[in-house]
Chain A
């Protein structure tokens, strides 16, 4: 079966870890694993080949041979190289400070353009900007209505002209925006194939007519090898200013990010992580690299926590998680806060090593409600020290919360599994990763 990239690398580095010195041969062996892992992650064949060659060269260098822990050194070289390829630093969108600033959103069919237009509008509205969303998809059934519904839901103005072609609609929209003091105009264009000349010309027309400040390609994170062809063509014809990776809330390894970045040289600026309009994040190359390497994305997790929970609580939570000291009381408190942060799956995916540890743990929100009910039926003592919960206590808790003993058992099992998992993360930290790679360093 297809191992996850992280598992694969783990395997590759395990082979290295046991050995004292890095030889050319064991580097080559582990690089074969890295290459395979990248291909399984949908990194384009040629991109993966170039990447591996570059890493191999660096790994065989002096710095590595001198190291005490060769495995970790290789991890660092691979990680650094990935970060570099992905763009080394976060690049924000051009801010809406012109009158108006114009964004054009384009891409293949179904990639997530219309949703992104809604997300960008919401994000800017929250910053007290006045965005105008423009329906330039006159082809797909109910595409105009879709954007209108999204715009209405966040109380943003929607622009559409019934009998006009997209280039005219966009030009008129900009005039309308100038007259009415909008800060930002966002075009939602129709999905199109990069080889559909007629429709590509349409985008070139829009570009020529209104000179957008940002021309964004939305690319599905699940895309395979073809990502290079698509992004190359869009970039050559339109001169993209940025890429948005969508559907990153799934379990796709997202190798397409590497491919696109390598062939276009365009910065990946944003990450779309869900269907809700608030599910939008800045794209951080370093975090993406860590995510690809299976080091998780605890930085994003903590940042997200900071947005919703107050800082102090977030820091305390992180500390407790790492020390594996948290008990059911914390669990209860954090359930409430976690809920505020959005879908659990996207949060959990950010924690290193959790993918595997939680494979058998369901994270259904409804199930969370049940968990809360069970914990609330525990005494304070039981919550603080779950080890004392024996058979008769379980029965009482089950009855008290209207659940079966089986459910109580399940919760306890999950709780201990989590405790163990966080404990492992803590240990990982103590062992020490190379500086600059420590995923917990904020």
Chain B
């Protein structure tokens, strides 16, 4: 891999509108006044940062500018960069703990079509390349050909899969997969779940049950819920994070589809408001298009 964020930089360069690149454009030719702050506001909102987070950032800049008597627009630029990096680092934690007993379980959850199954394929490849024994549980027993889809990813990444028939109880598949990972000494169990809108309480109950059943099969195993967010999602991401967190917890977010022109600024709003860390970013449909998220590098990449 050529630098962990090479691809992200490339894709941002391609769109030629790296979020803060645009800001730096605005800033270098302007003095600090309300018009400037309005322009920064527009850029942040258009990056899906959201009204609340944007307002707080702008207020922060305004306050600092007057307090520190900033006259150089580059200082404002630096401040914004620092502040965003700081926000994105909140709640940051290593994705694996040294004391974790294996198998570790990652429950991959999210609304429909965000990229759960594809991300599982990428994660399986990634971890198995690093010598971890990975098993995939095909717990989307609902959507047409969802099992076939995840089975293809298991084959591509050369890891084992535990599956059943379409229409069968996803919790039962989860249970079998949990037992299988214990028996086979797996390091990581990746659980592919069906897409579900967080507003459907019965489907959220189903998700809780899946988690419960895995807990029963593996009483000592750490179960991490990873929420997949589509990078082009707007403000709804906030309520997705909230409701999924209420149901099964949320130990990390994976933001997909950042290879498009959406800026993914909602991550800033989510981190600020809910303090959930981002673990990975998805940058394409290929098996290698997944990278660790690093707040500093992410912000740097945005600046370029």
Using a CB–CB distance below 8 Å, which chain A residues touch chain B?
A: 1-2, 36, 39-42, 44-45, 108-112, 114, 139-143, 145-150, 153, 193-195, 220, 222-227, 229-230, 247, 249-253, 255-256, 275, 343, 345, 362-366
Contacts and interface: CB of A to CB of B under 8 A. Distances in A.
Contacts of A253: 235-236
A103 to B, nearest CB: 20
Contacts of B46: 44-45, 225
Given A226-B48, A226-B261, A364 B202 contact: yes
Contacts of A148: 145
A247 B149 contact: no
B19 to A, nearest CB: 11
Contacts of B113: 109-112, 220, 247
Interface string B42-57: 1001111011100000
B291 interface: no
B45 A45 contact: yes
Contact of A224 (B142, B153, B198, B232): B232
B198 A230 contact: no
A2 B232 contact: no
Given A222-B111, A275-B112, A150 B144 contact: yes
B182 interface: no
Interface in B48-76: 48, 50-52
Given A141-B153, A343-B200, A250 B236 contact: yes
5 contacts: A145-B145, A145-B149, A150-B144, A229-B261, A364-B205
B149 A250 contact: no
Interface in B86-140: 111-115, 121
Contacts of A150: 144
Interface in B230-254: 230, 232-239
B235 A40 contact: yes
B160 to A, nearest CB: 17
Contacts of A147: 144
A218 B236 CA distance: 18
B260 A224 contact: no
Give the 3 A-B CB pairs with smallest separation, nearest first.
A224-B234, A110-B113, A42-B234
Given A222-B234, A226-B232, 8 more contacts: A40-B235, A109-B285, A140-B149, A149-B145, A225-B47, A250-B198, A362-B201, A366-B202
A108 B232 contact: yes
Contacts of A251: 197-199, 236, 239
A195 B235 contact: no
Contacts of B145: 142-143, 145-146, 148-149
A318 to B, nearest CB: 24
B143 interface: yes
A142 B145 CA distance: 6
A241 B205 CA distance: 40
A441 B46 CA distance: 38
A40 B239 contact: no
B233 A223 contact: yes
A252 B234 contact: yes
A142 B197 contact: no
Interface in B153-211: 153, 156, 166, 195, 197-202, 205
B143 A275 contact: yes
Nearest to A223: B232
Contacts of B273: 1
A252 B236 contact: yes
A226 B112 contact: no
Contacts of B152: 141-142
B15 interface: yes
A253 B143 CA distance: 25
B148 interface: yes
Nearest to A141: B152
Contact of B261 (A195, A220, A363): A195
B216 interface: no
A226 B263 contact: yes
B52 A2 contact: yes
B260 A193 contact: yes
B262 interface: yes
A44 B234 CA distance: 10
B48 A224 contact: yes
B14 interface: yes
B236 A141 contact: no
A110 B115 contact: yes
Contacts of B45: 39, 45, 225
B259 interface: yes
B260 A141 contact: no
A324 B114 CA distance: 41
A196 to B, nearest CB: 9
A112 B259 contact: no
A2 B235 contact: yes
B8 to A, nearest CB: 15
B257 interface: yes
A365 B260 CA distance: 38
A389 B166 CA distance: 45
Contacts of B142: 275
Nearest to A111: B113
B266 interface: yes
Interface string B203-229: 001000000000000000000000000
A250 B235 contact: no
B262 A2 contact: no
Nearest to B52: A2
Nearest to B44: A45
